[in-house]
Structure 1
């Protein structure tokens, strides 16, 4: 073989245009000189002909649509009405920016591997293209294709029957921001299209607790009076210490450019600490000090840190005296003098138990020396960011962990300062989030219960106490009435697959079945045939964000808007959520009120109406946020990135200008006046007692519990990198890269005679799942890690072969509404049962069920 070494010849070759190069390659192939081709036959370089080149494609700026932690830019390259490939932000889409512009003020909004794989979801075999009606048993997966008219007529009649027969609480709203999230087409528990639709219809039971972060939401509202407690992520660049408590931003962003800014912080000398039962990719990326901790014991470790800080007088007393209520005796309100304050609890004055680092070490498995070292680092390093992430809040009494974090943040004076951190929830810059009518019907409900207690309510109705399901007070004569749930709308959510204790949900469906045909209704609205859809009576095909006009919002962090045009026409008979609810509203008698810009033709021709709503919304953006671009300029560019004079820091005005916090006292409430004055907990949404100050409360399952004799492992179920909850589970590209498997420490595996790749059964009294094993030292002994979101795949014995951890989780919620996804004891053993990864490796195993004639 001869190699070219002449520089002139090499330069000539590499300066050929791409088109010339492809022409020359094709000519060579025609002569049979490539790949052993036969003379006279042209060998093609691609599997499909013709393969369009970039010059042949139309380029359209759009975005992702899911609650993955970012919502970044996607650039669709399409040929006619087909998206050929997807790219992302290259820095050219705002103003006069040059190719590659990527600055701290305007970073590129680069999509992750999930967004870049979206073509595979858009054109998936599981894509739902037509209205479908159940013809088999619920959960059997047998449906037939019906017309939109038949499906919506049946659904409307059933809704009227349920409302008239069982009252205004008969239909449960289980919308969520999974598959439909924009300023116009929005599935959301609070601002969503379904809530407004059911509210105007006059029949809605609301699901009030948010699975991801309800414990942190409660803590932020009690401590700060708001969930707008987050800095924008560029503030991380100014931190000298970042404590990532239960946070793995390599997998779960809390803002689109989190990793970018934290890398900048690392380059500027910031130190990183990770507190987590497993050594994460984030710990590796930042060369962080890893502190492994027993799951559910975070509040105890924080209490030990607080003790060291108080005992050594390292607290910022000036900050406490000025801005904090209830940190110590001197900051208690006059009306609460003599009640327990935080310092007295920590130092053992009020209960005789000092929460020393040694005390904490026995509970959380972290040495007292490490607790002291971390406490000293945090108290003496200024500014320091304790990022109290959501995962430790998804535990029994997870709200106490989040409130304890608020206490540490306040006692060290790291609230409202650049480089510090107050977040819990983490909401930063406030976007104009709603383009459709948002009026008195926006969030009307006739009962509201904790989201994960619907099954308990259905199974035990009418013998249910209000505190068991977290009924939100109404303040009228219907207050406390137990909802008689007979119908469920799943919109933009795969909640049947994602809520705790799936076997209990199946039991609830069996209860609905027992009422007889026509006495219950299950509707699933999605673009994909999801595991939840398997249990529905009707499957309604919803257009993806590529097939409708909208604007994308950032997800909690980030300050930008991304235009989302209709890139392609809706596939099959897909419609948007807004179209479906508008048409149902007309059939139920309130169409003009629900969609005032539309007429009855909106179901078939939505484009002009959608644009009219978006133009009005852009007017609010211009007025409220000072944007000078016209709507046409925004559409042309595709993205508007706000540039601020300085990083956005939560509570900066309170600290620097004396503006009161949004609490009753106007201060950071470590002692909550609201909680301290509750006398009848059963008549609150919490249901059960919550202490007025943050405390360590023993969870109902942990490695410190006697139940470990039967179930010796604590299972946690963090978010995977390759899914957004259950979304993208059926993407072959991603499943080739990542597998659903249980992670176990090498010493535990040795004791069980388990090796890498063995198939095991993970089980407890609530269920069983089958999954392969990944053996590593990156997980602490006694803990197993099974990522959430795998699509359930039940065998005839009710065993989940896909490895969905929510067959093992418990549906008992914390009083404040936190979901106890990570409060799970279990056991492991080898099995001869086969694992079925997803639905199958090609993601087509069940799609045939929905394609045959029935």
Structure 2
């Protein structure tokens, strides 16, 4: 699946701007510097309860320095690896990070603990100064810019050796090639890596973003379509969930493939433990049992990987069969649950309820049907469905991990429908 994300600015306006100002090395470097600020801070991720010296094991790593020789600067932990988004401090000297620590501006207390980061966050400093990281630009030895077919040696594709070039040469190549390709083929010919817009390419008129079939194609797009929330900046539910402290009010917490006590560490684990102390029942649905689930979960439901959709559909059958669903909510706020609430032009037979009951295909999606697929015992499915439908308030979490499989988007659809 591919996303076209052309800037709101018209091609004519962009062309006029380019003609007036020109895409020079200086202007490109200016934009690139702005764009690089956030990723750079995102990679300088590390934190600990007390200040620590950085030990990267690399000859290229910066030497330790005393605190009065640098400046402490705040930065947020790279949030795509974790939902905690801890605020940390980096000691910067001569443009290099030499130490990192937790945000310790406020006293540590039980009610308002310091957001101490984890060892994984601290290790990310090694990524910045690691010996395997590229430190200067390179190009294929026999490749030349300009798009001249006569200068393209197809036999060397993927085999040609890399040679180091200067930053000036690299920036000139990028600026010239972007100008040439956009001028000849339009912004649609520029494909950026990943889903999110690039400020440089947006300033030049836009580009196309690729979308894979797992995290983005399996979770982000189906989630936005299911909820009607189109802002993809809420990648991991930043704008779909309540405040993290609201989980303390939950009487039931279901973690479907979502286990922050193992993958996020730090502050999220404390919140879950506090909720458990307040009496919340915590259920972990996961093929992998670990010390994180051992610490917080009252019940572990092992499941075959990439079969979460079947589990939730089996839960839906039990809810419908026993009239446990909130029908008033479904009738008022959703589309497609039953034949009487379909979108305009849709076939009434395609509604969710009749699919689950097997009205037209003759296959009722019973807990027994789901069990054959996901490996969870039918009685466990019925118990989970009853808990989710009757214990209020409930917090039911899932994440893109469950969609990383064949037809993974169905897991996102089933999760939001049952929710």
TM-score by shorter chain over 0.5: yes
1:238 alignment partner in structure 2: 249
Q: Structure 1 residue 305 and structure 2 residue 315: aligned?
A: yes
RMSD: 3.2
Structure 1 CA distance for aligned equivalents of residues 79 and 350 of structure 2 = 43
Whole-Å separation in 2 of the counterparts to 1:195 and 1:127: 25
Contact persistence 2:118–2:266 (CA under 8 A)? no
Q: Distance in 1 between matches of 2:347 and 2:71?
A: 69
Q: Does 1:351 align with 2:370?
A: no
Q: Aligned residue for 1:405?
A: 415
Q: 1:88 and 1:161, CA in 2 relative to 1: closer, same or farther beyond 3 A?
A: same
- Out of 162, 171, 176, the position equivalent to 2:190 is 171
Cα displacement (A) at 1:379: 1.6
Give yes or no for the alignment of 1:61 onto 2:74. Answer: yes
Contact 1:244 1:274 in 2 (8 A): yes
The match for 1:223 among 221, 226, 229 is: 226
Query: In the aligned structure 1, how far is the partner of 2:85 from the partner of 2:349?
Result: 46
Given candidates 86, 90, 97, the residue that maps to 1:76 is: 90
Change (3 A) 1:138 1:335: closer
User: How many Å apart are 1:357 and its aligned residue?
Assistant: 1.0
The equivalent residue for 1:115 is 121
Match of 1:100 among 101, 104, 108: 108
CA distance in 2, matches of 1:125, 1:334: 58
Match of 1:265 in 2: 275
User: Which of residues 126, 134, 158 is equivalent to 1:128?
Assistant: 134
Q: Is the 8 A contact 2:214 2:400 kept in 1?
A: no
In the alignment, the residues of structure 2 paired with residue 81 and residue 222 of structure 1 have an alpha-carbon distance, to the nearest angstrom, of 43
1:270 positional shift? 1.0
Kindly state the Cα deviation for residue 134 of structure 1 after the two structures are TM-superposed: 2.9
Contact 2:284–2:297 under 8 Å retained in 1: no
Change (3 A) 1:210 1:198: farther
* 5+ long unaligned stretches in structure 1: 1-49, 177-188, 410-854
In the other structure, the counterpart of 1:546 is: none
Aligned length: 336
Cα 1:130/1:364, change in 2 over 3 Å: closer
Distance in 2 of aligned mates of 1:80 and 1:156: 29
Structure 2 CA distance for partners of 1:272 and 1:117, relative to 1, 3 Å = same
In the alignment, which of 163, 168, 176 is matched to residue 149 of structure 1?
168
TM-score (norm 2): 0.70
Distance 2:189 2:344 in 1: 46
CA change 1:149–1:217 in 2 (3 A) is: closer
What displacement does 1:55 show? 6.3
CA distance in 1, matches of 2:316, 2:376: 15
Picking from 325, 342, 352, the partner of 1:315 is 325
Please give the secondary structure, in 2, of the residue aligned with 1:250: helix
Report the CA distance between 1:286 and its aligned residue: 0.7
SS at 1:290 equivalent: strand
Which structure 2 residues correspond to residues 806-821 of structure 1 after superposition, within 5 A? none
Q: Name the counterpart of 1:87.
A: 101
Give the whole-Å Cα distance in 2 for the aligned partners of 1:195 and 1:250: 38
| Alignment check: 8 A CA contact 2:336 2:342 kept | yes
State the Cα deviation string for residues 1-37 of structure 1 (Å, max 9, x = none): xxxxxxxxxxxxxxxxxxxxxxxxxxxxxxxxxxxxx
Measured at CA, do residues 81 and 242 of structure 1 come closer, stay the same or move farther in structure 2, by a change above 3 Å?
same
Report the Cα distance in structure 2 between the residues aligned to 1:121 and 1:400, rounded to whole angstroms: 35
CA offsets 1:470-509 (integer angstroms, 9 cap, x no match): xxxxxxxxxxxxxxxxxxxxxxxxxxxxxxxxxxxxxxxx
CA contact (8 A) 1:244 1:389 kept: no
For each residue in 1:709-753, what CA deviation from the matched residue of structure 2 results, as whole angstroms up to 9, or x when unmatched?
xxxxxxxxxxxxxxxxxxxxxxxxxxxxxxxxxxxxxxxxxxxxx
Work out the CA distance in 2 between the residues paired with 1:213 and 1:116: 27
- 1:391 is matched with which residue: 381, 401, 406? 401
Matched, 1:279 2:294: no
Q: CA deviation at 1:230?
A: 2.1
Residues 337-386 of structure 1 show CA distances to partners (whole Å, capped at 9, x for unaligned) of: 84332222211222211111111111221111111111122122111122
SS at match of 1:262: helix
The structure that is helix-richer by fraction is: 2
Q: Secondary structure at the match of 2:314?
A: helix
1:609-636 CA deviation, whole Å, 9 max, x = no partner? xxxxxxxxxxxxxxxxxxxxxxxxxxxx
Name the SS of the counterpart of 1:100 in structure 2. coil
1:294 to 297, 304, 311: 304
Q: CA 1:233 to 1:213, structure 2 compared with 1: closer, same or farther past 3 Å?
A: farther
In structure 2, distance between residues paired with 1:78 and 1:168: 38
The runs of 5 or more residues in structure 2 that have no matched partner are 1-62, 143-155, 231-238
Equivalent in the alignment of 1:367: 377
Going from structure 1 to structure 2, the CA distance change for 1:235 and 1:150 (only over 3 Å counts) comes to same
In structure 1, the residue matched to 2:215 is 212
Match of 1:342 among 321, 328, 352: 352
Residues 296 and 80 of structure 1, relative CA distance in 2, 3 Å threshold: closer
What TM-score does the superposition give when structure 1 sets the normalisation length?
A: 0.36
Counterparts in 2 of 1:249 and 1:138: CA distance versus 1, 3 Å: farther
Q: Is the 8 A contact 1:89 1:111 kept in 2?
A: no
User: Shift of residue 335 of structure 1?
Assistant: 6.0
Shift of 1:211: 4.7
Match of 1:452 in 2: none
Larger relative contact order (Cα-Cα within 8 Å, sequence gap ≥ 6): 1
Question: 1:198: Cα distance to partner?
Answer: 4.9
Cα deviations across residues 419-471 of structure 1 (Å, max 9, x unaligned)? xxxxxxxxxxxxxxxxxxxxxxxxxxxxxxxxxxxxxxxxxxxxxxxxxxxxx
Please give the alpha-carbon distance, in whole angstroms, between the structure 2 residues aligned to 1:163 and 1:336.
40
Whether the 8 Å contact between 1:213 and 1:393 is mirrored in structure 2 is no
Offset of residue 121 of structure 1:
2.8
- Could you say what secondary structure the match of 1:129 adopts? coil
